[in-house]
Amino acid sequence: MNGALAGKLALVTGGSRGIGAAIARDLAAAGARVVVNYRAQYEAAAAVVAHIAAAGGTAEAVAFDVADGEAVDVAVHDIAVRLGNVDILINNAGVSADGLILRTSEEAWDRVLDVNLKGVFNCTKAVTRGMMRARAGRIVNISSVVGFMGNTGQSTYAAAKAGVVGFTKAAARELASRDITVNAVAPGLIATDMLEGMQAAARDMVLALVPLRRLGTPEEVAAAVTFLAGPGGAYITGQVIHINGGLYV
pLDDT-based confidence at 194, cuts 50/70/90? Answer: low
> Across residues 128-135, what is the average pLDDT?
97
Quick check: 30 and 5 in contact, CB under 8 A? yes
Instruction: Report yes or no on whether pTM surpasses 0.85.
Output: yes
Residue pLDDT, tens place only, 58-101: 999 999 999 999 999 999 999 999 999 999 999 999 999 999 99
Query: Which among 17, 59, 244, 243 has a CA at the least distance from the CA of 140?
Result: 243
| CA-wise closest residue to 185 among 130, 135, 138 | 138
User: Please, which pLDDT band fits residue 196 given cuts at 50, 70 and 90?
Assistant: low
Query: Is 235 noted as a catalytic residue in this protein?
Result: no
Q: For the ranges 26-35, 171-180, 188-197, 215-224, which has the lowest average pLDDT?
A: 188-197
Mean pLDDT, the chain, rounded, equals 95
Cα angle vertex 105, ends 101, 106, to 5°? 105
For residue range 20-36, what is the model confidence (pLDDT) as tens digits?
Answer: 999 999 999 999 999 99
Of 38, 157, 235, 248, catalytic? 157
Are residues 131 and 137 in contact, defined by beta-carbon separation less than 8 angstroms? yes
One-letter amino acid identity for 225?
V
**Domain ranges for the chain:** 9-243
- CATH number corresponding to 9-243: 3.40.50.720
Rounded to an integer, what distance in angstroms lies between the CA atom of residue 41 and that of residue 17?
9
